[in-house]
Amino acid sequence: MNELDFGLLVMRIAFGLSLAYHGFNKVTGKGGLAGTAGWFASLGMKSPALQAKLAASTEVVGGLLFALGLFTPFAAGAMLALMLVAIATVHAKVGYFIFLPNGGWEYCAAIGFLAIGVSSTGPGSVSLDNALELNFGWGGVVIAVGLGLIGAAGQLAIFYRPESNKKSQADDKS
């Protein structure tokens, strides 16, 4: 294992397991999936219970695959899609910096760019992709960016309705 392989291993494990734990928390944390669904509803997501399940499973599966270095471009694409949706639905309106109240989009962008970077280099020699002799080459970054952009755009187009959230909040106040 050389320095690049070690660096890729550290990044994959740290960010992959963090993302997986984030998804696990959506299921087991305070309020569980019902609480996550309620929060998604407050953001203006249609079918919030379905969204909670999809987000949690994508975070857990994508995070574990990324940490293991298995089907890395697909895991990176899932990470990118998740971060783009998080930016669009929550963090963009706050501003760039993470230290702002309610957190800006800085951290989500860093995770997305890290996923793109790892998909462009491959996961390194200490990975299941390497053990299975899966070498995506430049196709890895194409898969990750394409999947991330299409996944996020589809999710937002089909399920994100912030206007309906504002309308329902106005109805609640009357």
Q: What is the pLDDT of residue 128?
A: 98
Are the C-beta atoms of residues 96 and 105 closer than 8 Å to each other?
Answer: yes
Phi, psi of 160 (to 5 degrees): -90, 120
pLDDT score of 46 more than 70: yes
- Give tens-digit pLDDT for 138-149: 999 999 999 999
Q: Residue 151: name the closest of 120, 100, 115 by CA.
A: 115
Q: How far apart are the first and last CA of the chain?
A: 64
- Give tens-digit pLDDT for 52-99: 999 999 999 999 999 999 999 999 999 999 999 999 999 999 999 999
Q: What is the pLDDT of residue 102?
A: 84
Q: Which segments of the chain does DSSP mark as H helices, in order?
A: 3-28, 32-43, 48-68, 72-86, 106-121, 128-131, 138-159, 162-173
Spatial distance between the Cα atoms of 36 and 39, rounded to a whole number of angstroms: 5
This prediction has a pTM of 0.91
